[in-house]
Chain A
């Protein structure tokens, strides 16, 4: 009988990162997927990153994940979003070559010696004494392991809807998995249903781009990885067009045949990533909605119609699309569809992503009720790390809310749960001045070194950067100059702290330019210097606030305890605590319905 340290079920973004992380830390890993040719498949948009999620990709890279590196190798367009909103909000986003991205993932995984692969479908978990010890596949094979990570995505009891058509499947033309959900349900897990949707794909040769507005990539494209991945040279453009009343009319005429409206789908979809019919229905005062035509890759004519996610019958999709400027002659390759699938309320997880009920069993990705490649990959990485740590008897690796968006993500999931597909926003983070895309390496790479996920060259690079930045900041704090209109001799750092002065303006001073050249300061490093000086007060304030958070985070709560015994707690708090069993006072304070005075009471009871 085969035996592994860790079995990863599923080969999407979560599964791939999980397998890589466990294996690189030293575990023997088996990756089981239904199709070895769809590893790292992008089921929806051919793009990665974006606001808040771009920061997550940077964090994954800093922690030793591969999503950023592979994105860098396969991108066909790069844009830094939110450039005008201040550096704390800068968010990298890239269009990728869908096929090459998936290919690259497979090559990366195959290059890691202690990962084995198997094309099969897991239908049952092997469990003894509330601990998982392996899996059973559709072919009846039992494979043993010390830990199992489930990353089934939308495949658990997946049902695809196109109009009245209902097809069992996890992606279009791919089979779904049955059995696993019902076993987990019988073990006492809370199983729910969610839905999401995707847009039609069209043939780029049939589009009239002159009717649309070109959206090119950045003039100076950046990257996701902190390593020396190749720079992007040839960029492809996206194109923007709009729906119209005419389009809405056609779509509306199909509403009674839409699974979203005729009652065949009751599960919740993402509010912020609604289908086109949802947008028309909910915001009827809007005369038009934005549509993006996104190229799928270098060697394909396929184009993704972003903004037009739909589950209407094909003929309505086609008729409506043809009314959109630039799409008059569009040939449709694949229709849009809605998909319903099983998810498990993430309230059933610890911060390590291990389930509370079954030991050594980890969940990550869409089965936790999330949406997006980046948050799936991040969860996979964390689950992969923690599965390895767990079977080696080590304490779990948990990121706090002030350390990473990944920390915010996981804490939100396991503390508040979610009843709609969870998407990350910067608004979810309390300390977003600290959680910037430019400092993910500083925040996370030291941990990656400790975990053994990355080589020491990463640390060397980081230390070099920090050194140069620190030296430059103290240099600017020392030197006193006048600049342009400011005739009063002033500390250069003080000059730079003015909103209207950028670090480039300092280059009017020849010695500053010289200093930069002599010390080989790169653009990113000047950026850092500028942020540290301009944002000093804000960074300090958020650090102070975070210190209070950490204190509360360190006061642990017992795993099982009857909170009804504490009469001073409000009834709502007693009930919430008795169902959630938060791991710390800090986590308890973020559960809705638990008030500051409940927290005071808890503090008095729990801290010894």
Chain B
């Protein structure tokens, strides 16, 4: 709670808006941001406001305005930065992710205000006002958290934590009551449990992306060579559904994106047509350039021209993508209506769909196909992790579980295994809001015969 490390959080409310503000506070605030921010012009140290780009490696994520406040002249009294980016959840989450990757952590509720108070940036009356606000906010948060977790996720984490407590108890008992004829820990059982737990946590971690997908939409990326009809396909898909939600303008993106709804699911259609091909190297068809897009996609539409194509090349590229990303790929033969070669696609038999983007033929079937490919388990249940803080904690839990597993394999002593189990419990408890110390003792006494 009183960690003096650098923290980050979204300062504006979650959801779509014109702009979003990300706040970073702590001694490392400036150096952290400099890892992922490139100013447009040379920085004048006197200026507090800088325009530039957030970069993910070399990819521009967004153009942003950065306002810097040097300690102690800031809201928190620490070095503080406010990053104003475009108000799309996809963008601000990505920026948050990039920041966390550099080693800072998500702030706890009210932590900015707390730091402000601790650094005497507020008097008691001000703090009181903010405190009430935090209280009311956290009630809303609580409700949100509840809705978010009402379903399987919350239950899952609780069940997982309970199981960890059971195992921790067995080890704790073997330590504290080793003289008293108690059950010895069964390590092979513990290992089996850990493997299940790992799978379980991994599943929840994966659900973060799917959870995001529900909130942000399913990314459907259209790739293919020049002039195969990518833009036409995009337009046909968009016209199929007249309710265009947004087109995310001004995001300095070298691709075109449109959002449609199909069967209640938000599909984000991305056309890579905008990517400039510096070399007319047909072999790559821009795949190199679109790898990043492709790796985030849930579905890829690989489009080729039924009039002009090279079967060997299509198969090669298909297996390339499949090997690299293992993402659902739909191969589409466009312009089939005007092609005379349609009968000769023997090598691709059963692997592609015929459409005519221009005449909007086969579009319904294509959408049905996309829909059928989606993993709909996640749409029906609430088994999704949506919260970045929870994602962080789950990742830490997973790496701790790995440690315990290898510890047992290598014959670590109980003191260390118990220490790691406690660590895992600490992280899980932080997600479910439960505290551990007493739980262990209560569990120990409720289940086992102890005492000379």
A residues with CB within 8 A of B: 50-52, 81-82, 84-89, 270-274, 279, 282-283, 286, 289-290, 292, 306-307, 309, 425-428, 430, 432-433, 499-500, 535, 538, 541-542, 548, 551-552, 566-568, 590, 592, 595-597, 599-601, 603-605, 607-608
A599 near B1 with CB under 8 A, answer yes
B110 interface contact, C-beta 8 A: yes
Residue from A51, A286, A306 in contact with B177 in the complex, judged by beta carbons closer than 8 Å: A51
B290 interface contact, C-beta 8 A: no
Known: A290-B181, A548-B2, A603-B1. A274 touches B124 (CB 8 A): no
A307 to B419, CA, bound (A): 30
Which residues in A have their C-beta under 8 angstroms from that of B144? none
Known: A51-B175, A82-B178, A499-B412. A272 touches B450 (CB 8 A): yes
B419 near A538 with CB under 8 A, answer yes
A85 near B411 with CB under 8 A, answer no
Chain A residue with Cβ nearest B122: A604
The 0/1 profile, CB within 8 Å of A marked 1, for residues 171-203 of chain B is 010111111110000000000000000000000
A64 to B219, CA, bound (A): 69
Spot the interface stretch: B24-32, B130-138, B337-345, B377-385: B130-138
Residue from B2, B113, B413, B441 in contact with A425 in the complex, judged by beta carbons closer than 8 Å: B441
A590 to B366, CA, bound (A): 59
A567 near B132 with CB under 8 A, answer yes
Which residues in B have their C-beta under 8 angstroms from that of A601? 110, 131, 134-135
Least CB distance, B409 to chain A, in whole angstroms = 10
B452 near A290 with CB under 8 A, answer yes
Contact sample, A vs B, 13 pairs, CB 8 Å cutoff: A82-B175, A82-B178, A88-B419, A272-B450, A274-B451, A286-B449, A427-B440, A433-B419, A548-B2, A566-B131, A568-B134, A600-B114, A604-B127
Known: A86-B414, A427-B444. A279 touches B179 (CB 8 A): no
Chain B residue with Cβ nearest A542: B419
Dominant secondary structure at the B interface: helix
A89 near B449 with CB under 8 A, answer no
Which residues in B have their C-beta under 8 angstroms from that of A433? 415-416, 419
A84 to B184, CA, bound (A): 12
Residue from B138, B174, B445 in contact with A271 in the complex, judged by beta carbons closer than 8 Å: B445
B415 near A88 with CB under 8 A, answer yes
Least CB distance, A77 to chain B, in whole angstroms = 13
A420 to B29, CA, bound (A): 50
B437 near A430 with CB under 8 A, answer yes
A586 to B143, CA, bound (A): 28
Which residues in A have their C-beta under 8 angstroms from that of B132? 567-568
Least CB distance, B312 to chain A, in whole angstroms = 47
B180 near A85 with CB under 8 A, answer no
Residue from B138, B172, B441 in contact with A597 in the complex, judged by beta carbons closer than 8 Å: B138
Which residues in A have their C-beta under 8 angstroms from that of B433? 595-596
B179 near A552 with CB under 8 A, answer no
A272 to B414, CA, bound (A): 21
Least CB distance, B342 to chain A, in whole angstroms = 62
A551 near B131 with CB under 8 A, answer no
B120 interface contact, C-beta 8 A: yes
B17 interface contact, C-beta 8 A: no
A566 to B412, CA, bound (A): 48
Which residues in B have their C-beta under 8 angstroms from that of A309? 452
Known: A85-B414, A283-B449, A592-B438. A600 touches B108 (CB 8 A): yes
